Amino acid sequence: MQLPADAVLLRIFLGETDHRDGKPLYEAIVLKARELQLAGATVLRGPMGYGHSSHLHTAKILRLSADLPLVIEIVDSEDKINAFLRVLDPMMGSGLVTLERVKVLRYGNGPVA
């Protein structure tokens, strides 16, 4: 799969307790991205964060939270990301979705130049 040098980064912020159809929302999003053959997706778990409610979620021992922040990052062409956004919208309840233009320097496992 080729990834254009000028691509788009889709970043989705949500909580680990967010679910869709009985499974974690982050898992549903990543599986849908894979099904639609986007270049790749990564889920990052944050040790601390807060959102629109200003409720602090933290992994500190004395304040163990069951709803830590998650960020899903997906990079692909603008067309493929825009098509995915139409699928993502009905999946999302709350959360933050951002887009930014990125320059892809390397993708895949070919030799390093």
**CATH code of the domain covering residue 75:** 3.30.70.120
The answer as to whether 41 is a domain residue is: yes
The answer to which of 46-50, 56-60, 73-77 has the lowest mean pLDDT is 56-60
Q: Pick the closest to residue 13 from 87, 93, 78, 81 (CA basis).
A: 93
Mean pLDDT of the chain: 87
Contacts of residues 83-92 at CB distance under 8 Å and 24 or more positions apart, as own/partner, are 83/36, 84/10, 84/32, 84/33, 84/36, 84/38, 85/10, 87/32, 87/36, 88/12, 88/29, 88/32, 91/20, 91/25, 91/28, 91/29, 91/32, 92/12, 92/14, 92/25
pTM, full prediction: 0.84
The answer as to whether 61 is a domain residue is: yes
Give how many domains the chain has, as a whole number.
1
The answer as to whether 78 is a domain residue is: yes
The answer as to whether 32 is a domain residue is: yes
The answer as to whether 81 is a domain residue is: yes
The answer as to whether 110 is a domain residue is: no
User: Which tens digit of pLDDT belongs to each residue from 8-45?
Assistant: 999 999 988 899 999 999 999 999 999 999 999 999 99
Q: At residue 104, does pLDDT exceed 60? A: yes
Structural domain span for residue 17? 6-103
The answer as to whether 40 is a domain residue is: yes
User: How much is the pLDDT for 76?
Assistant: 96
